[in-house]
Amino acid sequence: MDVKERIVAELVAARDRSFGLTVGALEDPELTSQVSPLMSPLVWDLAHIGNYEEQWLLRAAAGAEAVRPDIDDIYDAFEHPRAERPSLPLLTPKESRAYVTTVRDRVIDSLEKVPLVGALAGDGFVYHMVIQHEHMHDETMLATHQLRKGAPALLDPPGQEPGTGEAVGAEVLVPGGPFLMGTSDDPWAYDNERPGHLVDVPSYYIDTTPVGNAAYAAFVEAGGYQDPRWWQPKGWEWRSTSGKEAPAFWFREGGQWMRRRLGRVEPVPMNEPVQHVCWYEADAYARWAGRRLPTEAEWEKAASWDPVAGRKRRLPWGDSGEADAHANLGQRRLHPSPLGSYPEGASAYGVRQLVGDVWEWTSTSFHGYPGFRSFPYKEYSEVFFGDDYKVLKGGSWATHPLSGRPTFRNWDYPIRRQIFSGFRCARDA
């Protein structure tokens, strides 16, 4: 498949996914209502996906005439915070669907004529950016699905859980020394992953799997949420004012931990990675366990450096290979896979489940790498740089494989936990 054929195939797949989460899944009133001030109405996400595509693939890349310049403001994420979006004059679900389809048809028509050269379209960059953008909003829409009340709208696909292979030790030593962080040549990479640069990391130990629900429940039951010793001052403030005493969506019933998941109630599976914890909870757990969160550099080295070959791998298990066999990505399951799954997906150091399952909080705040240059617009990442946001790595079960690469950087506030977030621990060697 050449680059353009790949682009068309990925555009089509992303749209199937978006429609499956919106028009195909829920009735109109649910699409236009807001389930939480943290989230947009689903119909906003859908038309925003189309508006972003119109701006970047039609107007910028193809130099084509605008379709609906009058709605740019409504779908500008910076003009209107999520809490305000339900009160905007949004397109209806039907209009949104027609709009994104019109934009898409014109993009496909124009693609033949757009040469994949130059800063924006070179190697397909702007197309890759827009495809990943749609999938990121699809993951955001899944978080909205998770927050909504009512009967399940999404079906758990039938099928086996992946094998866990041989048991794996709890942690591995990653010897010190420089590794290549980020990338300068990945045609799917965003500006914040660039440029590739050497980082020297002292020796450390890192967990071979994310922290599981059983271990996290032990922290809860040991009174971890009642003891300020484990919490950073700001974390303790969050703990006290929020009144939270367990991960989001957990509750006790008949002496058992239960969870709400996409409209279902089920016992918390003790062998799955914990998810829906905020950075403060992850940080407190790690301190209680006598450990700490990994830095972003430690996480990425464990995930991508091949110490024998002395080079970086594009993915934990190698430079390519079907993600399906190596990781729980792409909404194929609607939950994380058991601890130790996907032995074939282990990194060179023998660390598992680095990509997929749950986003992993790191101790690192979101800043630009040395030599960072914003591209193609400041609002993708640069405006978020600073100490307010923490970096998450690796993607979740809801993240598309196209963004499930070790260099990819996600970020959020340390109090957020409606995202599919978990963590693993590390310690100094």
Q: Which residues are annotated as a binding site?
A: 48, 82-85, 133, 137, 412, 416
Q: What's the closest the beta carbon of residue 42 comes to ligand AVJ, in angstroms?
A: 14
Closest residue to ligand AVJ using C-beta atoms = 136
Does position 400 interact with ligand AVJ (CB under 6 A)? The reply is no
Quote the Cα angle for 304-307-308, to 5°. Answer: 125
Q: What's the closest the beta carbon of residue 390 comes to ligand AVJ, in angstroms?
A: 11
Task: Considering the complex, state which of residue 317 and residue 372 has its C-beta at the smaller distance from ligand AVJ.
Answer: 372
Q: Which residue type is seen at 80? A: H
The per-residue b/e assignment along 61-85, b for 16 or more CB within 10 angstroms, e otherwise, is bbebeebbeebeebbeeeebebeeb
Does position 85 interact with ligand AVJ (CB under 6 A)? The reply is no
Q: What's the closest the beta carbon of residue 140 comes to ligand AVJ, in angstroms?
A: 5
Q: Is the separation of the CB atoms in 423 and 363 below 8 Å? A: no
Considering only residues 303 to 342 of the shown chain, the ones binding ligand AVJ according to CB under 6 A are: none
Task: Considering the complex, state which of residue 88 and residue 136 has its C-beta at the smaller distance from ligand AVJ.
Answer: 136
Does position 140 interact with ligand AVJ (CB under 6 A)? The reply is yes
Q: What's the closest the beta carbon of residue 48 comes to ligand AVJ, in angstroms?
A: 8
Contact with ligand AVJ (CB under 6 A): which of 410, 417, 418, 426? 410
Considering only residues 346 to 385 of the shown chain, the ones binding ligand AVJ according to CB under 6 A are: 380
Which residue stretches of 275-368 are H helix?
279-288, 296-304
* Residue 400 to residue 134: CA distance in whole angstroms: 10
Does position 411 interact with ligand AVJ (CB under 6 A)? The reply is yes
Binding residues for Fe cation: 48, 133, 137
**Binding-site string for ligand AVJ from residue 93 to residue 132, where x marks contact by CB under 6 A and - marks none:** ----------------------------------------
Which single residue is written with the structure tokens 């600073």?
386
75 φ, ψ (degrees, to nearest 5): -100, 15
- Interacting stretch for ligand AVJ, rule CB under 6 A, among 12-20, 133-141, 171-179, 278-286? 133-141
Binding residues for gamma-L-glutamyl-L-cysteine: 82-85, 412, 416
Contact with ligand AVJ (CB under 6 A): which of 136, 214, 258, 270? 136
Question: Among residues 171, 155, 330, 336, which one has the least CA distance to residue 247?
Answer: 336
Does position 133 interact with ligand AVJ (CB under 6 A)? The reply is yes
Task: Considering the complex, state which of residue 76 and residue 237 has its C-beta at the smaller distance from ligand AVJ.
Answer: 76
What distances in angstroms separate CA 104 from CA 112, 126, 235, one per listed residue? Answer: 14, 15, 44
Task: Considering the complex, state which of residue 162 and residue 422 has its C-beta at the smaller distance from ligand AVJ.
Answer: 422
Quote the Cα angle for 117-120-122, to 5°. Answer: 30
Omega within 30 of 0 (cis) for the link into 336: no
* Residue 39 to residue 58: CA distance in whole angstroms: 27
Q: What's the closest the beta carbon of residue 288 comes to ligand AVJ, in angstroms?
A: 28
- Please provide the DSSP assignment of 365-423 as one string: E--PPTT----S-TTTTGGG-STT-EEEES--TTS-GGG-STT--EEE-TT--SSSEE-
Interface positions with ligand AVJ (CB under 6 A): 133, 136, 140, 380, 410-411
